[in-house]
Amino acid sequence: MKLLALITQVLCLLAVSTAQDFDPFQNGPYETMHKTFYPILTSGLDHILNVWAPDSAEVVNTPIVYFISAFGGIMPGECYKDLFTKVASHGVTIVEPSMLGNDPVSNYQGIWMDDIMEWAETHLRKELSNAGLKEGLVLDHDSLFIMGHSAGGHVAVEYLKHHCGKAKGSILISPVDGFDPYGLIDIEAITPGQYLNYAIPSLVLVAGLDNVKGIDGAGAIMPACAPNDMSNKRFYDAMAGQTWLVNATYYGHGDALDDYWADTVQWVHFCAAASEDHSLEEYRRHLSGEISTFIKYVMGQEDCSVLKYLQEPALMPVETTVLYKPSVAEPELEKCSQSECKWQSDPYKHN
């Protein structure tokens, strides 16, 4: 009995040590590689593909995040290099296909992502090896996350509305619904007051200035990049799975981008942006930490204690507010329990 008690005590200490070692707001333990693949130079590829991956000689089994950039996938992956390098350092592979030649309507449906996933499952590891990536990386094609920024969030939701596939979770950074900022074309992913037809663990990362116009006094000429009625809370309210919403209150819609791109957005006043006394580096550390924590929680790679990084603003590197709601599809599900994506043809009903 004493031996059993001693073993139990050691295991508990190891568990505590693991949780304490994980610091999502600092770079993770892995060096990373960023590689861009071009259709004209890469057999079978029909999109420009940016990939960030851990570069390790030791075995690292990584989930894969498929990311749709702003403007529904038009924004080049180069704009997100710092953010995704940070995430990849925690043992995550990120694949960002830039839209190339899709008509806008079918692009917003998101089904083209299936072709990207099929290509990646067959060719990506070999292409990364040819590019010089060390031998340790193992791509877990059965553990996928769907992530989008701005109108890329619309595409991510539409994809999951068609099927869950192998998706374990969704991550939406300042998501915006609709097709155009003026609402002239009626293509929307969400019906307000109605749940979506899938339930998946989800993280909605909000910038507090999303709904502020970039040009003061512009009236209706230049709408906000993410108006309240078309963004953020609209997505949170529609989710039928357990969902966290973390709002970085002093940051703007384009502040997730690398400095050059974020500064350009601020210079042209396209979107409202953080003031100079709020660090964009700190904001990207915040975003990467939330993304890494969410993925590790959903994958069961860290215990329930890491949820504090999603739920306690005092632990985050920037000022935030937080919302959480449990799963509608699985009301009996405990907060610390991971769940698989559940899909049905009709929207989940409100209780």
- Report how far residue 336's alpha carbon sits from residue 193's, in angstroms, rounded to the nearest whole number: 27
Single-letter code of the amino acid located at 8: T
- Report how far residue 145's alpha carbon sits from residue 340's, in angstroms, rounded to the nearest whole number: 12
Spatial CB neighbours of 176, under 8 Å, sequence gap ≥ 6: 150, 151, 153, 154, 225, 226, 230, 231
Element (H, E) at 253: none
- Report how far residue 51's alpha carbon sits from residue 49's, in angstroms, rounded to the nearest whole number: 6
Domain boundaries, the chain: 28-329
- Provide the whole-model pTM: 0.90
Q: Which fold has domain 28-329?
A: Rossmann fold (3.40.50)
Each residue's pLDDT tens digit, 239-287? 999 999 999 999 999 999 999 989 888 887 788 899 999 999 999 999 9
**pLDDT score at 5:** 47
Each residue's pLDDT tens digit, 284-320? 999 999 999 999 999 999 999 999 999 999 999 999 9
Element (H, E) at 155: helix 151-162
Nearest CA-CA partner of 261 in 84, 88, 75, 97: 75
Six token digits for residue 220: 């209706």
* Residue 241 backbone phi and psi in degrees, to 5: -95, 175
DSSP letter for each residue of 210-239:
TTSBSSTT-TTSS--SS-GGGBTHHHHHH-
